[in-house]
Structures are given as C-alpha cells and as structure tokens.
Structure 1
C-alpha cells in the first residue's frame, strides 16, 4: 500500500505532467493485490473477481493563493489513506496542494492506466478543497435560464468542474460497467456572492418554459395512440374506470405560485436556476453539502463528510468482525447511510461566542448529498 503524499511543488517549482505520470508508474508497478478474489454472491451485484480492488486517487488542498487555508488537510489525507488503502485495499495515489491544471493532469493520467483498470473491480476519486458553483454560458436556452456547474479550486484559485472529472473517468473503456465513485468535500455556494438566489437548494421557478411544456404535454396526451409495448386499461382496472375530470394536475405551477408566493404576471421575471448534476452510468457522486450551501471541516478531524466516510467504513468492518459467520462484505449503501448519520448526529456549526460564523448560522447542520446510477449492488468483499 502506497502511503506517500506527493505535493504539487518541489523546491518552489510546480511539478510537470511527466513528473505526475512517473508517480503513477512507480506506484502501479506494485499495485495492492486483494487478499482474495471473491465471486459476487448474486447476479445483481457488480463483479468483484479481479486481482485489484482498483485505483483510488486522493487529492486534498490546504494552502491557497488567496483563499482561506484548509488547516485540517493532513487529517483528511490520513483518514482517506487509511480508509481506501488499509481497509478497502485500493491502490492509493495521494496528492496535496495541486493547481487546477495539476488536478486535470492527475485525472487524465489516472484514466490512461488501461491495463490496471481492466484488472480492477472499481475506481475511486476523493477530493477535498474549496469549491463553488459557477455560471455556465448556454446559448441555446432562454435568457431566463441560469446554468451552474460545480467546480473545485486548485491552490492557484483556478477551477476544475466536477462534471469534467466525472466525464473523463466515465469514458474509460477499462472501467466500463464497473463502479466509479467520487467523494467531493467542497463548498457548493455561488460563484458571485452578490447574485440573488433563494436558499432553497434545487427549487426552480418557471415561466414561459412551463407553458410550452404544458402545451407539448397536452398535445402528446390528446392522441389516442398507445405504444405497442403498452396496453390500454380495462374496465376492471382502477385507471380504466376513472374519468378525465378526476385527474389531478401535478404541474400546475402558476396556481401554486399564485397561492403560495403571491405570484403576479406583471412582476419581473425570475431566473430559472439549474444545477447540472453530473452523474453518469455506474457512477456514485457524494457531495459534502447541498447546492448553494457551504461545506465545513474541523482541525484534528478533516472535512465533515470525509471523516464520516472514514467512521462509516470502520463501523461496517466492526460489524463484519462481529458477524463473521454471516457476512464478509461491506455494502456501499450501508456505508452511505452510516455516513449521513454521523454527519447529522455529530457535526454542526460552532455556536460559541468565539465563533466566526455569522449570526443565525450557529448550530447549523449540513446534509450530505449523493446520487448514483448503479444498476447493481456494490459490495467490498474483505
């Protein structure tokens, strides 16, 4: 297991892409073999009979050019090396204080390891840094639409979009049909603090697009044509005995706005804010906070989400030790449940008189947000 942490600079000079590639080559020559090659317990699980668990790239940034330092970076790295290297037996490559360009290089080089990926069960990417949601220019949509992409800061204050990282990994042939996991410990607040935005996460206020969508829906549903693979409801089916006037429209946006928000058609148009969640096939993406929200860490602990991930893995290993005659694997969904439990139970913003958080932010909790496109169960057999 590789435990070295490689910094983005050497003797005051930024490391090149070739130097980064050499680091990968030296580590992968002696990749961590699994203690035993297991066969999935059923056809609904991902295959796990390869010789390697997989590659895990860990990146944690501490010292930024203009942003506040993440003084818990080293705690974060230690926990993640232990979690993925020691407990889950990944082949770990760890970096600290990378620029945005270097983060891109690390991801690109990791994607080039075709032979290693072909002999691996899965892939993991863990990143701890500052983050934000920045506007994305979109020419083909109405001017009221405001797309945002989540981005991760390099120590040079330049950014890399989470979407681009995931898309690169998702396109690797050696990882097709294999689980790819991304754990992002970073803020998701807005790029420009003076922009107006409601604190409602993914809430979307709709204007003309809703009207167009409703018109298209009405036109589509007015036809009596039925898909060849579908069948019309019979008189015995509940839906077949219902008349159309019993239908309840779930998409009546205008009525809801008028009732709850005192909507008036003469009011200025609201901007439709859309956060593009970059989840691809066979991918799991875990964020340390919700859209438009801040993320937190603590000295001696690390980022809240990553620390809780570490604790969740330990909890599952302890469970295996206690029930060794019944089970010998860690289910990733149970890990996610335990992780969210730890964050919600043990972490909240400091409420002491010395706290630097704005008034009203005391005791604020931050939810872990995750999404996945796993068509199968994923288990780590130990």
Structure 2
C-alpha cells in the first residue's frame, strides 16, 4: 500500500482551470470517487474541493498507474486535456503525500496562511468518503493524524487566530479601498458558510449588509443569526442592487456565472466586486468605475499575510515535519502491537491447556487451579517482557518488516493482524 496525493491549487493552477475542476455538489463527488475506486489499483479515496484547491487523497497499490488513472478521470470530468492537467498537478507519494496532507490540514498550503476553514472542509470530505465506504483503514489513519497535526500547529502558533480566510481577505481589501465604511452598504450574494464568514467580517468592519440568495428562507435564517440588523432581499432584486450598491461580495455554489454583462449598467460612482466563488459567480464584465476581484487578485494581501506570519509558519512546518515522521513510526508500531498481543494470548492458551491436563491426571488439585494459573501468567509476562520491548524498539527500524515476519513464523502467529484505529473525527463535529 502507498499513500498518494494529487493536488491542484492556487500554486499550480489558474482560477479558470480550478473552476472547471471544482465539484460543486455531492452527486459529482460521489460519481467521480466511484469511477476512481472501480480501478483495482486504488483502494481508498477522499476528494477535497474548495474555492482554492482540488485534492485527491488515496491509498493505492501503484502510485504511477493510479496517478495517471485519476488524472485521466479528472480530464474527462473537466473537459480539459490530460497532458495539461498532468503537467500542472503536484503529485506526492508516501512520505511526501503525508507531509502534504498534514500541511493542507494545518492551513500552511492555503492561499491565506493560517485560514481556519480548511481543516473543517477536510473533515467534511473525510466523513463523506467514510459514510460512502470509500475509505476503510489506511486513509482514516492518515486523516486522524493530520487533524492531530493541525491541532498541534494551532496550539503552538498564532496562525489560526484572527479568523483569517479568503472572506476576511476580501473584506480587508474592501475596507482598504473604501476607507471610512460607516453607512457604506455591502451586498452579499449566497447564504452558505462563506457568506456567513463574509457577513461577520463586514459587520465588524463597519459595513451595512444586504443579503440576497435564491433560497430566501435560508437567507433570513442566516440574517437572524446575527445580532446586528441585516437587510434580506428577494433574488429578483439582484440586478437593481448590483447597480446601486458600491461593494458586493459573492460566494455561491452556482456551477455557472450568475452575474453577466447585460445585468450591469454604467454608474457614476465607483463599485468594487469581490468574487470568492469557484467556479466564479461573475462573468467577464467591463463597465466604467467597476473593479472586479477574484480570489487570485487578493494576492497582495496574501503576500503581506505571509510576511507577517513567516516566523510562525517556520514553527508550524517543523511540527508538520516531526509529526509526518511520527506517523510512519506509529504505523510500524501498529504492525508490532498485534504480534505482542498474540504472543501473550497464545501463552495463555498453553497455560489453560496444561492446567486442565494436570488436573485431569491428578497432578494438581482443582481448587489450586486459579493460583497456579496466576503464577504461570506471571512467569509468562516476565519471560515475554524483554522480547516485547525489543519488538517495540525494532518497529522504528527499517528492518521491522523482516523481524516481524520472522517472529510470526517462529511463533506460528496469524500474518494478518492489522488493527483498524477508528478516527474520532469521523464521528465528531469540527473542533
């Protein structure tokens, strides 16, 4: 078994390509994962699709063949050329895959270093695959450790403070442009998680918020969740609002642009639109006094953020490096623990058998069985103590597989003793 990560992100893929690769709904994700797992070379798979990245995390028998197969299926899904995607993709195997996964979970690979949403998105992607039985043992182990790593980074650094996200970056840019935000109206399109974050940051920055969504009930519920007043409008008023409000931030899950050239009138005042959706919500539009920012256009704030957080990121990466190595040591220990357990179990079986024979033949009295059994178990424990310690030490050595196989053969133990360690994050809500 090998770990494999195939990554398309803001680092290697422009927004036009990312929006074609995006998976806007669970049906698309489900269909794609089924296709990937239909191939015998891929045993388990998780698909993470956000506004800035598409990641396929897999357990495979052959990394080269699996990479080619997965990217071929991505090419078919996105109607993009295989060669283009293969050349763009960052492909990580085994140690590199785990290091990348831990970096993603810890928000070190994000457009905005330290953004707080990615670990929740990764947990959602994991739960989806787990519920569909698209991952069983190998990926849950890796995901469990990635969440542990993300928590360690949050606790050891200040990267997760300040609610840094693409949404907060867009609001920061708007505030920088506008200056005095008092009495300035901002239109938010969409009623999902990103819109909720956007509203939170707009309100804290002094904007007056108007919310609009195709699902007005959901929009009203979202508006009611805030203490400050938020004006909710019917979706049919979208075109009018676009041409009367200076700031707009859109973050819907629409698979196509919802704002097009014909909806936009020329205005005498300046307008600033922020499209933080992938695929983009705003079509290619030209109009006087209108500036449109996509997620990739927020790079200047991102660069400033990276400079301020460079020292913290260095500490975070040292944690990722350390925990990546610990993960593989832990995997090795999982191979040894069942061996040790079965050595003791087999010893107990021999004790029980010999005691029954001794009682049957009259060598010992039945009423003494329990005390003699305790004595035998004490001898067994002391006898196996040193071999157990040595096996645990060897589990960290490159010769582990050879030694474990030898011990299994000598003691006649079952060679299929792998243990499934259920990941607590499969059943818990986001931390």
| Same-fold call, TM cutoff 0.5 | no
Question: Relative contact order, CA 8 A, sep 6+: which one is greater?
Answer: 1
Q: TM range, normalised to the smaller chain?
A: under 0.3
User: Structure 2-normalised TM-score?
Assistant: 0.25
Higher strand share: 1
